[in-house]
Amino acid sequence: MLTNLFDAFPDAAVRGVQETVEDLLSRPDVRIERIISTGQASPPGFWYSQPQGEWVMVVQGAAGLHIEHEEQERVLRAGDFINLPAQVRHRVNWTSSEEPTLWLAVHYDLPQQESK
Amino acid sequence: MLTNLFDAFPDAAVRGVQETVEDLLSRPDVRIERIISTGQASPPGFWYSQPQGEWVMVVQGAAGLHIEHEEQERVLRAGDFINLPAQVRHRVNWTSSEEPTLWLAVHYDLPQQESK
């Protein structure tokens, strides 16, 4: 069990390997995740569209976030956060290839069937 | 409205003045706060005892957290997080006097009467 956000950066965190996602808290009404990206992006044409809301912050690194119907992507750097209400389609255009990008994501308004 | 966790450190953030607390997200089932401490501690004999759960991380700075029935205080430094279930009595013995201590707190299991 992690106790520090910067602990145990996975060995697999090298460019091109899959993102690493770990639960930091899992409750019926909220789930907090640490996500580590190492240059990944959403596949071409892929959009996230989630039944729950997501508040997400880039703690370290950088990412380009594209929200549907917005002309320009949003560039998120250390400390930048954004709230993505449920069903808001978005995709990650890029994440830094210079260093791991560490995200903190708080999922809320969880659908009942996903509750634990 | 803040968009970066390090934005707009309040002018009042000088040692001895009250802590600064700002909502980053407020939803019926979750509330995310930024808290900036500048050397404050809980008053002698005071314990926090909250009806909701709280997941809290020190992003910058340092703090000594005392959880009731634990012999030793927990020292939290950058990246350290802890989950405080509802009703777990705790107090902040100290926060850094060297630099502001920036906390990110996620309150969950909110009582219905506190929902917005």
Chain B neighbors of A32, CB-CB under 8 A? 55, 106
Cβ-based contacts of B5 with chain A (< 8 Å) = 57, 79-81
Are B55 and B81 in contact by the 8 Å Cβ rule? The answer is yes
A29/B32 CB distance under 8 A: no
Q: What is the pLDDT of residue A115?
A: 46
What value of ipTM does the predicted structure carry? 0.90
Does B33 contact A at CB distance below 8 Å?
no
User: What is the arithmetic mean of pLDDT over A13-34?
Assistant: 86
Q: What does the CA dihedral B76, B82, B88, B92 come to, rounded to 10 degrees?
A: 20
**pLDDT bracket for residue B78 (50, 70, 90):** very high
Distance CA A90, CA A53 (A): 12
Q: Do strands B74-77 and A90-95 pair parallel, antiparallel, or not at all (unpaired)?
A: unpaired
CA A24 to chain centre: 13
* Domain residue limits, chain A: 18-108
Q: Please provide the average confidence, as pLDDT, over all residues in chain B.
A: 90
* Geometric angle at alpha carbon B103, from B101 and B107, rounded to 5°: 155
Contact A29/B at CB under 8 A: yes
Question: Considering Cα of B8, then B96, then A23, then B70, what sign does the dihedral take?
Answer: negative
Chain B partners within 8 Å of A53 (Cβ): 27
8-state DSSP, A48: B
Could you tell me if A113 lies within 8 Å of chain B, comparing CB atoms? Answer: no
Interchain CB contact of A30 with B (< 8 Å): yes
Classified as helix, coil or strand, A88 is coil
* Cα B28 to Cα B47: distance, rounded to the nearest angstrom: 26
Q: Choosing among A23, A24, A32, which should be mutated to test the B contact, i.e. which has the most B CBs within 10 A?
A: A32
Closest chain B residue to the Cα of A110, Cα to Cα: B29
Tokens of B93: 């013995």
Which tokens belong to B95? 């926060």
Chain segment A85-98, per-residue pLDDT in tens: 999 999 999 999 88
Please list every residue in chain A whose beta carbon sits closer than 8 Å to the beta carbon of residue B107: none
With contact defined as beta carbons under 8 Å apart, do B93 and B65 qualify? yes
- Report pLDDT digits (tens) over A32-70: 999 999 999 999 999 999 999 999 999 999 999 999 999
For B76, the token pair is 């939290």
Q: Which residues pair with A84 in a beta bridge?
A: A54
Q: Which of B3, B78, B80 sits opposite A81 (nearest CB)?
A: B3
Question: What's the mean pLDDT in A4-32?
Answer: 82
Touching check for A108 and chain B: CB below 8 Å? yes
Torsion region of A78: left, alpha or beta (phi above 0 gives left; psi -120 to 50 gives alpha): beta
Tokens for B66, please give them.
């005392």
| A49 close to A89: Cβ distance less than 8 angstroms | yes
pLDDT in tens, B102-115: 999 999 999 875 44
**3-class secondary structure, B7:** coil
Q: List strand residue ranges (DSSP E) for chain A, in order.
A: 20-27, 30-37, 53-60, 62-67, 74-77, 81-84, 90-95, 101-108
User: Which CATH number among 3.40.1190.20, 2.60.120.10, 1.10.3720.10, 3.40.50.300 corresponds to the domain A18-108?
Assistant: 2.60.120.10
